[in-house]
Chains A and B, each alone.
Chain A
Amino acid sequence: DTEVTQTPKHLVMGMTNKKSLKCEQHMGHRAMYWYKQKAKKPPELMFVYSYEKLSINESVPSRFSPECPNSSLLNLHLHALQPEDSALYLCASSLWGTGEWGLNTGELFFGEGSRLTVL
Chain B
Amino acid sequence: GDSVTQMEGPVTLSEEAFLTINCTYTATGYPSLFWYVQYPGEGLQLLLKATKADDKGSNKGFEATYRKETTSFHLEKGSVQVSDSAVYFCAIYTGANSKLTFGKGITLSVRP
Interface residues of B in 66-98 (CB under 8 A from A): 87, 89, 91-95, 98
Chain B residues contacting A48 (CB-CB under 8 Å) are: 98
A101 B43 Cβ-Cβ under 8 A: no
> How many residues of chain A get a CB closer than 8 Å to chain B's CBs?
25
What is the number of contacts between chain A and chain B, taking CB atoms within 8 Å?
60
B51 A43 Cβ-Cβ under 8 A: no
Please encode chain A, from 93 to 119, with 1 for each CB lying within 8 Å of some chain B CB and 0 for all others.
000001101101111111111000000
A45 B51 Cβ-Cβ under 8 A: no
Chain B residues contacting A90 (CB-CB under 8 Å) are: 43-44
B26 at the interface (CB under 8 A from A): no
Chain B contact residues: helix, strand, loop or mixed: strand
By CB atoms of chain A within 10 A, which of B31, B32, B45, B99 has the most? Answer: B99
**Which of B87, B92, B100 contacts A108, CB < 8 Å?**
B100
**Which of A43, A99, A111 contacts B102, CB < 8 Å?**
A43
A41 B105 Cβ-Cβ under 8 A: yes
- CB nearest neighbor in B for A43: B102
Chain B residues contacting A6 (CB-CB under 8 Å) are: 43
Chain A residues contacting B107 (CB-CB under 8 Å) are: 40
- Some 13 contacts from A to B, beta carbons below 8 A apart, are A40-B107, A42-B104, A43-B102, A104-B98, A105-B51, A106-B92, A106-B93, A107-B46, A107-B93, A110-B44, A110-B45, A111-B43, A113-B43
Interface residues of B (CB under 8 A from A): 31-32, 34, 36, 42-46, 49, 51, 87, 89, 91-95, 98-100, 102-105, 107
